[in-house]
Amino acid sequence: MAVKIRLKRMGKIRTAIYRVVVMDSRTKRDGRAIEEIGKYDPNQEPSLIEIDKERADYWLAQGAQPTEAVAALLRHYDEGTLKVAETGPSKKDLYEAAVAAAGSAEAGAPAPTPRKKATPKAEAPTDEQGAAPAADTDAGEAAAQSTDADADAAADKA
C-alpha cells in the first residue's frame, strides 16, 4: 500500500482550510484518512501552519511520501521561517477599555460623535401690512395690468 502525506480540503467554497493527513494514495482527496497530523489555513495573515512534527517524522520513516505542497509546508516548519501573528490586547482588555470610555462619556464628557445642531429656520420677509410678498409670476403681472386698466377706465368715466 502506497501511503502519502497530503492535504485534505475542508471549509467553505472560497475559504478553503486544509488538514495535513496520512492516507492511502488511491483514496479520493477528501476521503477517509489514516491519521490527521496537522492543519493549514492560508486565509489567515500570516498563514496558519500546525503540524505534529513527531507524527510526520514517524510516517516519513515508515516510507510515506509527502506531496509537493506538504513538502513545502514541512520545509517552512523545519526551517523556522514561519511568520507568527502578533498578539494584540485580549478581548477582556478591549471590553474593559470600552466600558471605561462609556462610563466617562456618561459622566459629562463629550460624546465620541458630536451631534449636529439644529439650524434655526429663517422667517419669511413681509411687507408693511404683514402679508408675505407675492411671487413674481405671469399671473401676478396680468392681474396688476388688469387692475391698472380698470383704474384707468374708472377715471375716464368720472
Stated pTM of the model: 0.51
- The most distant pair of C-alpha atoms in the chain lies apart, rounded to whole Å, by 130
| Cα-based distances in Å from 5 to 30, 101, 103 | 13, 52, 55
pLDDT at residue number 84 = 62
pLDDT at residue number 44 = 86
pLDDT at residue number 19 = 92
Q: Is CATH 3.30.1320.10 the classification given to domain 3-79?
A: yes
- 89 prior amide bond cis, ω within 30: no
Whether the predicted pLDDT of 92 surpasses 80: yes
Taking Cα atoms as reference points, which of 22, 20, 16, 17 lies closest to residue 4? Answer: 22
Residue count of the chain, please give it.
158
Strand 48-51 versus strand 65-66 pairing type: unpaired
Q: Which residue has the higher pLDDT, 138 or 100?
A: 100
Name the H helices within 62-132: 68-79, 91-106
Judge whether 43 and 17 are in contact, CB under 8 Å. yes
The H or E element that residue 56 is part of is helix 53-61
Which residues does 39 contact at the CB level (< 8 Å), separation at least 6? 17, 18, 19, 20, 48, 49, 50, 51
pLDDT one-digit tens code per residue, 58-88: 999 999 999 999 999 988 877 766 666 667 7
DSSP 8-class letter at 7: E
Weakest mean pLDDT among 11-20, 26-35, 69-78, 143-152: 143-152
